[in-house]
Structure 1
Amino acid sequence: MAADWLGSLVSINCGPTLGVYQGEVSSVDQSSQTISLKQPFHNGVKCPVPEVTFSAIDIKELKILDIRHSNSKTCSSAAPKVGSAPVAIPKGDPRSVEKLNSPQHCSKSYGSSSSRGINQVTPKKNGVKNGQMKHRDDECFGDGLDEELDTDFDFEGNLALFDKAAVFSEIDTSERRNGARSRGTPQEQAPSRYRHDENILEAKPVVYRQITVPQPGAKEYCTDSGLVVPSISYDLHKRLLSAAERYGLSLERRLEMTGVCASQMALTLLGGPNRFTPKNLHQRPTVALLCGPHVQGAQGISCGRHLSNHEVEVILFLPNFVKMLDAVTNEVTLFTKTGGKQVSNIKDLPDTPVDLIINCLDCHENTFLMDQPWYRAAADWANLNRAPVLSLDPPVSGQSQAVEAKWSLSLCLPLPLAEGAGRVYLCDIGIPRQVFQEVGIKYHSPFGCKFVIPLHSP
């Protein structure tokens, strides 16, 4: 039946003169032996006319590209299944146009006119492979697909059938029956959100006063995390160091620890990693170190040694004394091995401002040093140099300080410092907790992961 071929896509070769035409079969006339194509393409170019009619005499070869039907059975001896490779029907073959209406066997085909456009009638290079895969799919899954799936799936309607509250209620009931923890239902209030730095695990409440002393000092400080750090008197400070020395924390160990912590703080004040790089060695910072002939001076010299080892230009001012502590002499010997500069006269200090001044002139016990000419000269030079000052282990409040500091570094626990001490920092010199307990101090380390921490006035 000629009507069964309507809508099929074919390619008609009319020889080198007329060329090749492709299009959709619009009519087949058996009596006149003609076939018409609508929306035809001639040699790959769309024709200006909507329909072209061919006579069987002019057709050299006919290829069936696609058989288009809608839920109908077609019968053909030459028609392949949908999606198979094109079949060539040369002229003179009994399956030519005049025999298209003489079927010998039947095959099922399904409409696909809505999924292809007329611009896709030319078969692709891999059409044979795709046709074979389609043929296999039809053999495996073709049964029972006589009807088209024209209706779209209603996702919203299907979701509305899902009773979310009932399902969560059933899950909650089941978990409670089994002793498991409930996930909660949508009606329950959502839990509060946590910050990135908060612990979601339940913990004991934080006790911010973890350090208590037998005799509270005149001042209290607090850390960045809110822990309270009380100050102690100088007498309690001396008893704490004496107890630590009995357990093996000698003066040399304390000097080394203090020097490391103070130098680390000084390196940070000088610029830290932004300044101390291999590409910046031509701009070495300069530090003036003012020291006296006492333990505080020895701590400063230890700090200067570490700074000099880190490519800092250190100028140590230490007057010539007839008698000095052995600790000071030992630290000076080590300092000279680093290549640092040592002067004993104020006139040898730089006239231009330096990057940092470390003040270690003051002593906790000997306040008469402030009357010495070298002390007054060094203090005047520091005040006129206009460089920031870091005081190392400054004296307690009540003792006058000739040099006003921007920062002060206290050891283990702070002393009640005067207002001229600037911003107070605290360093850990390694005293064990049991040593604190021996002198009556309930101690819990406030340092965390650091050895130097800032302190704030409450």
Structure 2
Amino acid sequence: MTEFLNYKVDLTLKDGTKSTGLISQVDSQQIRLSNAIQSIQPKQTIPYLDIKSSEIADLKVIQLPPDFKQQQKRKQPDWDTSSDVQDIKSSNEFDFQANLAMFDKKSVFADFQKRDHTNIGDRLVGHNKIENVNKLKKEKYDNDEMVLDQNRTDNWDNIGTATTSKTGTPVVNQNGYKDSQHQHLKLINANNLGNVALASPVQMLEIERLATDSFGITQAMMAEVCATNLSQLIMESILGGASRLSNKKNHNLPPLVLLLIGSARGGSRAFATGRHLTNHGVRVLAFMINTVEVDADLQQQWKLFESSGGKVVISNIIELLDIINNQLDTPVEIIIDALQGYDDHLEDTFYQDEDQATLRKLMKWCNEPQQQNKIMSLDIPSGVDGGSGTLSDDSLKLNCRWCISMGIPLSGIILAYKNGNMSLRDGDIVHYLVDVGIPNKVYSSKGNLRKFDKFWYCSEASIKLEVSEK
């Protein structure tokens, strides 16, 4: 008991008196206090006062010895000193088993129950009692219970009606890349790493003209072949393939694809692709900035698209964003950019002030982070010149996630990378080359096209391309 020496204590005796002092000696029989003060004579200090243990009713420590903390720090054992364990085991000062026997667990829990006034039915254990479980459990469920609703609906069926108004309103600009220039870039086939020849816009016009005039492959036929192959690529590579689209038990609404229609050639192929996607259960919504100069092919594809279940919104971008954000329960998963062809520019297609304002608002919305990774540009991102890869207006460019070359890749793609108008960061833009049905004989019919004379597509209808710096 020597560890209690120099503790200042306040002793309450059984006769009601109190004594205060420093413990100078202690054993099992008595405690000696030094400089003691008794409550019956508070003004008198007794040098030594002996008090029998049997006379003590209560003991309260009122002050620790001055060197207690230093002693504790010096005596603090290391956590891994095994000799301390043996010291405790061999010590007779603390008998754990004897002290544990003094603890009356039964009486303590009886006291807990006596003080606890919580209704047994309000306890968690009360809900799990056999009688309650049997009371709530059903033997059989009705046919409309425990079943996910397979008839989720939104406002899709009411979109694109005759009440669609033609106005113009919100959305603006975007960010350019302007990375450091790279001089030795080329497109290669991702499968065999072979070089892929590039065509200028003039060469593409010549190739497609020869396909029509010499081989009878019209623009409508090329649009149909392109749509078949591109829609298949989209469904298998982006929309989840058969595991998602063929799952008849999927209670979710179908995927949503947005078409941005501008140029005649690209717009026709986008409409045709949207029609094929619609035929496979995908919901496709198209937005047209204006309908002033619509050529015959685009008009026909537009008609076929709507008759197959596609929806069209004209000019009113506020209506478009309201449909996407508020009226439909599915987010847009792909935005197909067909605003610009390889042989024209946005400023030429949308030259009216009202159309320009709508175009800027549309591009601003598309280039927001939520939409930017969903953009699939046909031929080349809108705003980038198909021949030089330059920008005529830095504020008018879409930052695409996928770039789809139709027939042959454009030379403007590599030049756009060199100019910093397309991002070279790994995985920023994924390139595909899609077969549009151009006969191989076209390339051998003229000398300036012989560099394209090869079988571009064998067993595949689309080829993944990569940008190489070697």
TM, length-normalised to structure 1:
0.50
Structure possessing the higher radius of gyration over alpha carbons: 1
Higher relative contact order (CA 8 A, sep 6+): 2
